[in-house]
Structure 1
Amino acid sequence: MFSTKRQTASDAVFDVVNNVIMLCICFITLYPIWYVIVNAFNDGSDAMRGGIYWWPRQFSLESFRAVFNSSGIMTAMGVTVAKTVVGTVVHVFFTAMVAYAVSRKELIGRQLYMVIGTITMFFGGGLIPYYLLIRDLGLLDSFWVYIIPAMFSFFDLIIFLTFFREIPEALEEAAKIDGANDFRIFWSVIIPSSMPVIATIALFHGVYQWNDYFTGMIYINDTDMQPIQTYLYRVVAQSSSNQMLAAMPSGVAVTVTSQSLKLATMVVTTAPIVFVYPFLQKYFVKGFMLGAIKG
């Protein structure tokens, strides 16, 4: 009886300490985001005095108005949405199709393909050879530079491959008896049975496409083809923020600073994925549990 009480007391202490540590971690993680939001909604000239930590001291939307008045941000947002949607659909379909082919035991050279793919996960040619390849393929300053190089991921192939091996072979055999070819089996049997893993890969790659700024910075010189994250990079680098500030009416520019424009742009560029992600996360968890039950 005494040992049971000691165990209960130690569990209570552990729970308290664990909760305190987790709260501290949550605060350290979330407060910088809250700080950016608070200062973005504060008057720019007033924010320069400092002392704003929890709530806006002088609430103002002028910085956001200046951001949305910029013609470049809406163009960049359109490019980001287009490449996220198209890139995710193409990536999931192409990677799943290759993974299904590799999962077939009758595929000649299957082990060689796995070895070559595994090597590419650890070794690469570097940025300069990759840039020369993109240039020779004619993808510089092209929308397809966001799509074609990201069509396939060997890491995602391994995830698909693991799931495909759990699908009963009887389903494919029944489809072959009905006269279905390999592509029809893939489209009508494998894809509907693989929605949990498809949701997982789509979530991961969609977030990657939205957050990717490096591709637009290196391979795109046309500012009208750069995504929102590259636009944010240019604003943080001050060149675009100073141009936006100079283009504003004099009465508004008094209350807006280069720093407030940067913070407002950060909020605008990150808000869509922050709001969408919880809904995607719900389907991701559901798909993960379905996959666990299926396995």
Structure 2
Amino acid sequence: MPFLKRKTAGEAVFDTVNNIVMLIICFLTLYPIWYVLVNSFNDGADAMQGGIFWVPRVFSLDNYRAVFASSGIMTAMGVTVAKTLVGTVVHVFFTAMVAYAYSRRELIGRKFYMVVGTITLFFGGGLIPTYLLIRDLGLLDSFWVYIIPAMFSFFDLIIFLSFFRELPDALEEAAKMDGANDFKIFYSIVLPCSMPVVATIALFHGVHQWNDYFTGMIYINDTNLQPIQTYLYRVVAQSSSNQMMAAAPGVAAQTVTSQSIKLATMVVTTLPIVLAYPFLQKYFVKGLMIGSIKG
């Protein structure tokens, strides 16, 4: 057996303190989620008395029955799924196409474009000019307001660019000798060889699309086009929960409250991405490492 170095007293104390601090941080991060989950499964009227911290005191599904009795949440969920899927595909393809053009050494004005693009990482036009632009483009109360403004991200372009520069030039040279044009090379060779970075950017943007509530809050007045996160915002910030209580058939009014409806709605809207994140986390780490090490 190899010789194992024994820890000094200082190292043992450091490891112990470090573990305790990390456990405290994990608890402070996870407990609010657990608190919301537990109270969402508790009888609403009973929860008003307080004192529920670890397990439901009076287990009840009435809060969730009231949430799903509202047609608005299912419509909002459909909008969120649609904009996440369509927006992610469009964003990945368009950003990758622009990044491929940036990666070409023969691109005229490439350095100038890089400077202009880098400036956009630090400075934006502001909400009012952006709203006026969206209005003039006719995107207010339109599903495409979720897609078109989010088609391109210079930050994601940099990640794509780092990966494209590592692809062997021989691949493109061989394709050009066979008569392939730039678009054919991009679609048939570059994209298939770039699946790791494509998956990474798709996850980045997919999570962004799912969590985005601001776009629906500012640019959408039609409730049939609002995403699930905007729906959650309106339930928490406004009186939508009272309307849901009144519209829920088969649910006794005394078993649910405005607060319990809000907690159940929060669980329903955030649970899918919370369950998916542990399986997708490795791709986020991989995306940050792309281009940092050249082999």
Q: Which moved more, 1:249-258 or 1:104-113?
A: 249-258
What is aligned with 1:227? 227
In 2 relative to 1, CA 112–86 (structure 1 residues): closer, same or farther, beyond 3 Å? same
- What's the CA shift for 1:245? 1.4
Deviation (angstroms), 1:247: 1.9
Provide the residue aligned with 2:208 in structure 1.
208
In 2, are the aligned partners of 1:197 and 1:291 still within 8 Å (CA)?
Answer: no
* Aligned residue type for 2:107: L
Q: For structure 2, which runs of at least 5 residues remain unmatched after alignment?
A: none
Partner residue, 1:62: 62
Counterpart residue number, 1:85 = 85
SS in 1 for 2:242: helix
Using a 3 Å threshold, how does the CA distance of structure 1 residues 287 and 214 change in structure 2: closer, same or farther? closer
Partner of 1:133: 133
Does residue 150 of structure 1 match 2:163? no
Moved more, 166-175 or 282-291: 282-291
Q: Do 1:196 and 1:284's aligned partners in 2 also have CA atoms closer than 8 Å?
A: no
SS of equivalent to 1:161 = helix
Alpha-carbon distance in structure 1 between the residues aligned to 2:16 and 2:164: 43
Residue in structure 2 matched with residue 35 of structure 1 by the alignment:
35
- State which drifts further: 142-151 or 169-178: 169-178
Alpha carbons 2:95, 2:157 under 8 Å: kept: yes
One-letter identity of the residue aligned with 2:69: N
Q: Residue 38 of structure 2 contacts residue 53 of structure 2 at CA under 8 Å; is this kept in 1?
A: yes
Q: Is the 8 A contact 2:99 2:161 kept in 1?
A: yes
In structure 2, do the counterparts of structure 1 residues 241 and 267 end up closer, same or farther at CA, with 3 Å as the change threshold? same
Q: Which secondary structure state, in structure 2, belongs to the residue aligned with residue 98 of structure 1?
A: helix
Aligned ranges for residues 172-211 of structure 1 at < 5 Å?
Answer: 172-211=172-211
* Residue 124 of structure 1: how far off its partner (Å): 1.6
Aligned residues of 1:197 and 1:288 also touching (Cα < 8 A):
no
Q: Residues 251 and 78 of structure 1: is their aligned pair in 2 closer, same or farther, counting only changes over 3 Å?
A: closer
Cα distance in structure 2, aligned partners of 1:116 and 1:294: 27
TM-score, scaled to structure 2: 0.93
What is the percent sequence identity of the aligned residues?
A: 81
| Unpaired runs of at least 5, structure 1 | none
Distance between the aligned counterparts of 1:288 and 1:238, measured in 2? 38
Greater per-residue helix proportion: 1
Tell me what 1:170 maps to.
170
Counterpart in 2 of 1:279?
A: 279
Q: CA deviation at 1:238?
A: 3.1
Q: What is the alpha-carbon distance in structure 1 between the residues aligned to residue 46 and residue 214 of structure 2?
A: 34
Displaced runs of 4 or more, over 6 A: 286-294
What is the alpha-carbon distance in structure 1 between the residues aligned to residue 24 and residue 249 of structure 2? 44
1:161 aligned residue: 161
Change (3 A) 1:128 1:251: closer
Distance of 1:294 and 1:187 partners within structure 2: 24
CA RMSD of aligned residues (A): 2.0
